[in-house]
Structure 1
Amino acid sequence: MKADPKPLEQWQVDDADRLKALFDKREPKISQSEFGSQFELGTQGMVSQYLLARRPLNIKAATAFARGLGVAVVDFSPTIAAQINEASQAAGEIPGARAVTDDDDHAEPNVEIRMVSIDVQAGVDRIILEPIDYDGGKHHVPRQWLEENDLYPAALVAVKVKGESMQPLMYEGDIAVVNTADKVRKTGGVFAMNYEGQAVIKRLLYERRDWYLASDNPEFKSVPCRGADCLVIGRVVHFTPKNFRDRL
């Protein structure tokens, strides 16, 4: 007797939801059958299973979807994008992932990552990354810094800091780099969070057996970070001041 398939993990379901949204928005439109044939994903039924979270995505399927939809793998699966980057260190560039080469004679000193806005919903552990037209939609980070910190460009996004709550560390208009593959809470770390349906940047603190969202600006009070009302989007790993000279 054949065993029932193992249920997908929540991140895999979220990946499928993001993938289906991208598939539905594709222009020109294409049938699932034609898409599967053209991009070597198999039958219409196979494509449907991936889109409806009935079959887990893998690296091969994810790169095929990325190629067919004209997007990066990280647009629908930060987790698989990070896996691809690990593999691409030896195999070269794969759609949706970029290897950080050790060849200092040929490598550019900076690496491009995407500038995005982050859309979230209250109580929903998923994010929508919307590209924005700022400096060509790209932000540049030092290649050496990426290598030293074992970071994968496909899992990184750049966002504009809003508000005054993280002053004097970060000011409105600064560019924060978020590692969407790192969702492990660490007290004292600065994270992009989905707090009650709003994307915010805060410092996470663990005190009195509970988590709190804290601001570096003392005029803002800490708030409890509990359950589905407070979800990690990713850890802030780098930021670029809008105008450093004004802070000297």
Structure 2
Amino acid sequence: MRELGLSQKELGARVGKSQAWVSQELLRTPEQVIRYLWARDPEAVQRLLHALQWTPEEFSRETGIQLPGAEIPGSIPVVRYRIPVIDAGAGPPMWNEGAEYITLHIPELRGKREEELFAVRVKGDSMEPTLRDGDIVVFWTGGAPEPGRIVAVHVHWDGVIVKRLQRYNGSWYLYSDNPDHPPVPLTEHDRVLGVAATLVRKM
């Protein structure tokens, strides 16, 4: 916190907690609080790591607190991926030479090749509450497009969209998690580009 110039109030706001939570809980019994959050609210742990600019491995190394499921520091090199980001509604990533890039180093991507990954910035509320406007979802082109999976699809009428794939009466449909948006059929002109690998939550 000191190195980043973060006050208790600022850190609490970034994690979605109060200043009192930081001073009276996190800083007093950090290991107990982190393990509780990991079990009950893992997204809060991810927000904390993001605010402190640490990977899970770096967090464990610096604090001595081992996150369940995190690699033992030094056991496996951290792989950093440079991934193109496109906005929902744009063309596929291979058609967007001017796309911006993000660099990620998170366990969910381990074992995948960088060229198999791309990301889409969510637009609108059709996938709420799972995905929010501005969230970035990383997709893997090697994943199996199975029913129930969140996929990035290039549709002929709306560019790349992010939906949940479902099968009904022998046909494939693209569903929104927000019930205000009706499902649409997946046509022969549409192309599933990849399945969701991980979420980068908008801060």
TM-score, scaled relative to structure 1: 0.46
Q: Equivalent pairs: percent with the same residue?
A: 27
Considering only aligned residues, what root-mean-square deviation do their CA atoms show, in Å? Answer: 2.7
* Aligned twin of 2:77: 107
Deviation at 1:131, TM superposition (A): 4.3
Opposite residue 138 of structure 1, the aligned amino acid is I
Change (3 A) 1:237 1:158: same
SS at match of 1:145: helix
Distance 1:161 1:130 in 2: 19
1:165 offset after TM fit, Å? Answer: 0.6
State how far apart, in whole Å, the 1-side matches of 2:96 and 2:136 are: 15
Shift of 1:240: 1.4
Alignment pair present for 1:132 and 2:99: yes
* Alpha-carbon distance between aligned partners in 1 of 2:74 and 2:96, rounded to the nearest angstrom: 32
Q: Counterpart in 2 of 1:174?
A: 135
List, as ranges, runs of 4+ consecutive aligned residues in structure 1 with deviation greater than 4 Å. none
2:162 paired with 1:201:
yes
Write the deviation string for residues 18-64 of structure 1: whole angstroms up to 9, x where unpaired: xxxxxxxxxxxxxxxxxxxxxxxxxxxxxxxxxxxxxxxxxxxxxxx
- Residue 200 of structure 1 and its aligned partner are, at CA, apart by 0.1
Contact 2:138 2:196 in 1 (8 A): yes
Q: Which letter maps to 1:187?
A: P
Does structure 2 conserve the Cα–Cα contact (< 8 Å) formed by 1:115 and 1:131? no
Asked whether the equivalents of residues 142 and 194 of structure 2 are also in contact (C-alpha less than 8 Å), the reply is yes
CA distance in 2, matches of 1:106, 1:211: 40
Q: Separation in 1 of the partners of 2:145 and 2:75?
A: 38
Tell me the equivalent position of 1:162: 123
Equivalent residue in structure 2 for 1:116, among 73, 78, 85: 85
1:240 aligns with 2:203: no
Partner Cα separation in structure 2 for residue 128 and residue 138 of structure 1: 17
* Structure 1 unmatched runs, 5+: 1-102, 244-248
Give yes or no for contact 1:139–1:158 (8 Å, CA) kept in 2: no
Q: State how far apart, in whole Å, the 2-side matches of 1:181 and 1:145 are.
A: 14
SS in 2 for 1:218: coil
Offset from partner CA, 1:115-167 (integer Å, 9 cap, x none) = 3227438xxxx94243434xxx223131x3333xx422221112211111100
Q: 1:132 to 1:113 in 2, by over 3 A?
A: same
Counterpart of 1:141? 105
Answer yes or no: is the 8 Å Cα contact 1:158–1:176 preserved in 2: yes
Count residues with an aligned counterpart. 129
**Residues 1:189 and 2:149 aligned together:** yes
Deviations 1:176-213 (A, max 9, x none): 0011233x431101000011241100001001111000
Greater per-residue helix proportion: 1
- Cα 1:158–1:113 change in 2 (3 A) is farther
Q: Structure 2 CA distance, aligned partners of 1:160 and 1:190?
A: 14
- Relative to the length of structure 2, the TM-score reads 0.55
Aligned to 2:45: none
After TM superposition, give the deviation of residue 106 of structure 1 in Å: 7.5
2: distance between equivalents of 1:217 and 1:199?
18
